[in-house]
Amino acid sequence: MSHPDADAKPFRRSWQSEKNNTRRLRIYNWANATYIANENKIRFDARKSIIQPQSAPPSTGPITSQLGTGTPSYLDGLNAEQALAVTSIDGPLLVLAGAGTGKTRVLITRIAHILATRRARGQEILAVTFTNKAAREMKNRVGELVGHAVEGMPWLGTFHAIGARMLRYHAELVGLKSDFTILDTDDQVRLIKQLLVADNIDEKRWPARQLAQMIDGWKNRGLGPDRIKAADAGDFANGRAQKIYTDYQARLKMLNAADFGDLLLENIRLFRENPAILETYQQRFKFILVDEYQDTNVAQYLWLRLLAQPRNDTPANVCVVGDDDQSIYGWRGAEVDNILRFEADFAGAKTIRLERNYRSTSNILRAASHLIAHNEARLGKTLQTDVGEEGEPVSVTSVWDSEEEARQIGEQIEQLQRKGDALNSMAILVRASFQMREFEERFITLGLNYRVIGGPRFYERREIRDALAYLRATHQGADDLAFERIVNVPKRGLGDATIKILHDHARASAIPLMLSARQLCETEELKPRQRSTLHALLAQFDDWAIRAEALPHHELAEAILDESGYTRMWQDDKSANAQGRLENLKELVRSMSEFETLGGFLEHISLVMERDSGEAEDAISIMTLHGAKGLEFDSVFLPGWEEGLFPHQRALDESGRAGLEEERRLCYVGITRARYRCKISLAQNRRIHGLWQTAVPSRFLDELPPDAVAVTDTGSSYGGYNYGGRQTASRFDKTDPFQSVYQSPGWRRARRQNADRGSDPGPLIEGELVARSVNSGSAYGVGQRILHLKFGYGTVAGVEGNKLTIDFESAGRKKVIDSFVKSG
DNA sequence: TCGCCCTATATAAGG
DNA sequence: TATAGGGCGA
């Protein structure tokens, strides 16, 4: 721990006000004084030391050489590659950083280095991350390193926060006002639904959610409505997707709103149409740093390209950090290709590989490396352990079903606990969130403290969204979506019929909904009852808008929630979670007082607000593999290694080989979260949506190196997972090396179909073998008697693609895949 | 307009 | 199995 915040604070103002080099130098000395003054009170970690100007590296240019020689203290403790990555600040640089190699530390130290050597001031550095968490961590750690620089770096943030900031500044150039609303997914879907209805498109057949995803995808690829090709739009609404997209964009402008995609896409448009503006940013940003570059999508890439264009033949100082092996967000638009192409994209780019792993034992690292080597599309790194321990082998345990899996993991946790390990040092990483429940239930009976990370976020909760809608409608009268959300919440007797009248008028006159409501209150259009209710509501909004001028906004919020009857609505609600909702509302009002303006608060909540994780208590973490990226634990449990679940069926069905490779990277991410212990398990039977299904061991198990793995069997399991001896080839990739299970008619049919289609005889993707859920009918019919290798004899009760529902004579009703069944 | 009942649906989730 | 959202009757 370095000096506490209280000590750093007095110097913040000085940092903010500094304007030139002389002053800055003095400030560094002040910072140094902080350190000295506290020396006898606080034990100081040299690696997190304050920058000392007299000891900048000599190699970085004339300015720094004046400061003397010697290695600056912030470089202490970095290995050679890390130090090189920190100090190579001229020209494009790709830092390929494997799991646990100190990537974040390099990024942070690099910023400190740029500041210390005075190559740029804080406000001349653009540093982008994906998550608020990463941005916050970077802010804090740079602050620790430099003493106080946090406020000095206005352009350190997420892609979206920075995009929003730029867009607000130039909003009028893209048809928005600077106080535009940022819509989230829920708003988007509701808006699109309205457009579909307006166009008489059957919302059942063509769900708004699906189109919202398509539009999102287009925006991720940097495509505006004018650039969609017919093939992109598919047959959605019989080819009208592009038209709706166009309408959607027009609607957003009318609502003075932008969705998340627009925060970047509109910036790109802005830069392209206004080269002068782009140039001011290019001049401003002397250094650009990007975290998790493997997660960037096309739009983010284009945005960066624009900002990082070479100027006057000088290449931009853009540094991207990432790991192609940890790219797990292809499904939300990330392009691994961006990182694979970096050297070609930025002329003269250097690449530095960080391969020294400071996290895991060699067994864990070997398992991860061996597995990931099965991927074809990668830049290739070899991680070396620096932990110096072989450690326990990675364990693989086969159990009968998911219930036993939870029981078994619970026991292991208790065992570790008895040994003295903290629950905080353990995590269960699942592929899909439905797996979490079984663990929660088990831990409740055991009385084990656990913490679920993920789930609905604070501002996605209904009561928070409702409250925000009231505030948004007060703040920004053109926010139709907000107004519509709450006109009848709490129930006021203003139902669909009334809303439709408001809408029709609004659309006909091209005015916002609230204005439409005002005008209709002046006429006889509405029934007297609705009219007077609506009139009263509008009067309240007027009142709130007036009071907003004078009242502190958290008090205003409280008044709005009380006077609108919203608080009362939940007070009168007798359901179990009503109390919690009221507390959330209180928390919302409380958090508002931390902001100076209502606008500032609304910006914060749509871009930043997160759920409090409550990390103080000792508890085991349960989270998804995606959620675990970037974290580390002493002991990691990886349950559910079964075909169909992990790798997930949908990934295979929808993205084939690429999907499989992404699943494998996810697998790699999971294993490399572990420092000392990595415990994999699989169940032979799993209940999905209430029905039991037999499970096939995950192919990823075959891809682990036998000498780093120990297989155990709980004994109660049927057959078990007999690992070892067959790891030479994946049973899913090569010609079938097994003679047992895979000789069933289903299997043969799958093979035959594959051949008939004339598709390449190369790797078979799981979807074609085991669970093709569409297109291929089953050879079995209802009523047919069959034999299943595990469950014995039974009768087919239902057929759905190649999935059979079977009433077994001894095992009861189960869902199975036809390739594991013979006619009996 | 409200509220109940029925049915369709269920990977991951950042901003 | 759980839930959310739509349809329909009062």
Rounded to an integer, what distance in angstroms lies between the CA atom of residue A341 and that of residue A336?
A: 9
Q: Is the pLDDT of residue A63 over 70?
A: no
Q: With 60 as the cut, is the pLDDT of residue A647 above it?
A: yes
- Say if residue A32's pLDDT is above 60: no
Residue A689 CA to nucleotide B5 C1', Å? 21
Determine if strand B comes within 7 Å of the CB of A206.
no
Nucleotide lying nearest to A203, CA to C1' measure: C6
The number of residues making up chain A comes to 824
3-state secondary structure of A412: helix
Residues A517-534: what's their mean pLDDT?
87
User: What's the CA A496/C1' C8 distance, rounded, in angstroms?
Assistant: 15
**pTM score, whole prediction:** 0.78
CA atoms of A207 and A197, how far apart (whole Å) = 11
**CA to C1' distance (Å), from A533 to B8:** 36
Least trusted range by pLDDT, from A83-87, A245-249, A402-406, A780-784 = A780-784
Distance A489 CA to C10 C1' (A): 22
> What are the start-end ranges of the E strands in A219-259?
257-259
Q: Chain C positions under 7 Å from a protein CB?
A: 1-2, 6-7
Residues 177-196 of A with CB under 7 A from strand C: 193
Residue range A665-692: mean pLDDT, rounded: 94
Q: List the single protein residue with the shortest CA to C1' distance from B11.
A: A432
Nucleic chain B contacts, protein chain A, residues 421-440, CB cut-off 7 A: 431-434
Q: Which pLDDT belongs to residue A272?
A: 95
Q: Which nucleotide is nearest to A488 (CA to C1')?
A: B1
Q: Look up tokens 């030139």; give the residue.
A: A20
- The predicted model gives A760-772 an average pLDDT of 24
Say how far A190 CA is from C5 C1', in Å. Answer: 13
Cα distance between residue A321 and residue A293, in whole Å: 6
Indicate yes or no: strand C within 7 A of the C-beta of A388. no
Whether pLDDT at A5 is above 70: no
In this predicted structure, which of A537-546, A569-578, A686-695 has the lowest mean pLDDT? A569-578
pLDDT digits (tens, 9 = 90+) for A617-629: 899 999 999 999 9
Q: A184 CA to B13 C1', in Å?
A: 13
Query: A49: which DSSP letter?
Result: P
3-state helix, strand, coil in chain A (%, to 5): 50, 15, 35
Pick from A824, A775, A784: nearest CA to A802: A775
Place A814 in a pLDDT band, splitting at 50, 70 and 90: low
**Most confident region among A473-477, A578-582, A659-663 by mean pLDDT:** A659-663
The predicted pLDDT at position A779 comes to: 64
A666: nearest nucleotide, CA–C1' criterion: B12
A48 within 8 A of A144, measured Cβ to Cβ: yes
Residues 248-287 of A with CB under 7 A from strand B: 260-261
Answer whether residue A778 shows pLDDT above 80: no
**What CA–CA distance (Å, rounded) separates A721 from A741?**
13
Residue A321 near residue A291, CB atoms below 8 Å: yes
Q: Quickly count: other Cβ atoms within 10 Å of residue A590's Cβ.
A: 12
- Whose C1' is closest to the CA of A628: which nucleotide? B12
The whole-number pLDDT of residue A724 equals: 45
- The per-residue pLDDT for range A184-220, each reduced to its tens digit, is 888 899 899 888 888 888 888 888 898 999 999 999 9
A651 touches strand B (CB under 7 A): yes
Among A692, A801, A788, which Cα is nearest to A745's?
A788
A498 is catalytic: no
Average pLDDT, integer, range A795-802: 64
A437 vs A380: CA distance, rounded Å: 37
Backbone angles phi, psi at A710, to 5 degrees: -120, 125
CA A634 from centroid of its chain's CA atoms = 23
Out of A665, A673, A772, A815, the active site residue is: A673
**Cβ of residue A440 lies below 7 Å from strand C:** no
Average pLDDT score over residue span A448-455:
87
Cβ contact A556:A568 at 8 Å: no
The strand B neighbours among A residues 151-180, by Cβ under 7 Å, are 158, 160-161
3-state secondary structure A138-173: HHHHHHHHHCCHHHHCCCEEEHHHHHHHHHHHCHHH
Å from the A790 CA to the B5 C1' = 40
Within residues 489-548 of protein chain A, the ones with CB less than 7 A from nucleic strand B are: 491-498, 530
Active-site position among A101, A104, A158, A693: A104
Encoded tokens for A623 = 């989270």
Indicate the range of A466-470, A652-656, A696-700, A756-760 predicted with least confidence: A756-760
Q: For the segment A467-477, what is each residue's pLDDT rounded down to a tens digit?
A: 989 998 998 88
Give pLDDT, residue A387: 81
For residue A404, say whether its CB is under 7 Å from any atom of strand B: no
**pLDDT at residue A717 is higher than 80:** no
Q: Answer yes or no: are the C-beta atoms of A369 and A339 closer than 8 Å.
A: no
Is it the case that residue A380 has pLDDT exceeding 70? Answer: yes
Closest CA to the C1' of B9: that residue is A689
What dihedral do alpha carbons A436, A442, A448, A454 form, nearest 10°? 10
A610 CB and strand B closer than 7 A: yes
pLDDT bin (cut points 50, 70, 90) of residue A23 is: very low
A190-195 contacts at long range (C-beta below 8 A, 24 or more positions apart) = A190/A481, A190/A484, A190/A485, A191/A248, A191/A251, A191/A252, A191/A255, A191/A481, A192/A244, A192/A248, A194/A503, A195/A244, A195/A247, A195/A248, A195/A251
Q: Does at least one atom of strand B sit less than 7 Å from the CB of A585?
A: no
Distance from CA(A644) to C1'(B10), angstroms, rounded: 15
CA A48 – C1' B12 distance (Å)?
Answer: 36
Non-local (6+) Cβ contacts of A665 within 8 A are: A325, A326, A327, A328, A372, A375
Q: What are the structure tokens assigned to A661, written together?
A: 């490779």
Give the best-scoring range by mean pLDDT among A194-203, A219-228, A491-500, A753-762. A219-228
* Residue A37 structure tokens: 């003054």
Decide if A324 is catalytic: no
Q: How far is the CA of A130 from the C1' of B9 (A)?
A: 31
Note the CA–C1' distance, A433 to B6, in angstroms. 27
Look at A712 and A800; give whichever has higher pLDDT. A712
Range A155-165 average pLDDT: 95
Specify the pLDDT at position A796: 77
Tell me the one-letter amino acid at A177.
K
Q: For strand B, which nucleotides have at least one atom less than 7 Å from a protein CB?
A: 1-3, 9-15
Q: Is the confidence at residue A714, as pLDDT, over 70?
A: no
Chain segment A92-127, per-residue pLDDT in tens: 999 999 999 999 999 999 999 999 899 999 999 999
The answer to whether the beta carbon of residue A203 comes closer than 7 angstroms to any atom of strand C is yes
Q: Distance between CA A619 and CA A214 in Å, rounded? A: 39
**Mean of the pLDDT values across residues A269-297?**
96
Residue with CA nearest C1' of nucleotide C3: A689
Give the distance, in angstroms, between residue A541 CA and nucleotide C8 C1': 35
Q: Catalytic: A292? A: yes
Question: Has residue A303 got a pLDDT over 90?
Answer: yes
A104 is catalytic: yes
Nearest to A355 by CA among A326, A397, A377, A383: A383
> Would the Cβ of A239 be found within 7 angstroms of any atom in strand B?
no
The separation, in Å, between residue A561 CA and nucleotide B1 C1' comes to 24
A204 touches strand C (CB under 7 A): yes
What does the pLDDT read at residue A70?
Answer: 59
Scan for tokens 């669970």, then name that residue: A771
Compute chain A's Rg from CA coordinates.
30
* Residue A690 Cβ < 7 Å to strand C: yes
pLDDT at A734 over 90: no
Which residue among the candidates A34, A81, A103, A665 is catalytic per the annotation? A103
State the first-to-last Cα distance of chain A, in angstroms, to the nearest integer.
69
Q: Which two tokens stand for residue A237?
A: 């609404």
A113 contacts A145 by C-beta, under 8 angstroms: no
Q: How confident is the model at residue A372 (pLDDT cuts 50, 70, 90)?
A: very high
Q: Which nucleotide is nearest to A219 (CA to C1')?
A: B15
Residue A521 has pLDDT above 70, yes or no: yes
Average pLDDT value over all residues in chain A? 79
Three-class HEC string of A553-613: HHHHHHHHHHHCCHHHHHHHCCCCCHHHHHHHHHHHHHHHCCCCCHHHHHHHHHHCCCCCC
Q: What is the pLDDT of residue A149?
A: 52
Confidence check: pLDDT of A50 > 60: no
From the candidates A18, A187, A266, A291, which is the catalytic residue? A291
Residue A349 has pLDDT above 90, yes or no: yes
- pLDDT of A769 reads 21
The tally of CA atoms less than 13 A away on the side-chain side of residue A601 is: 22
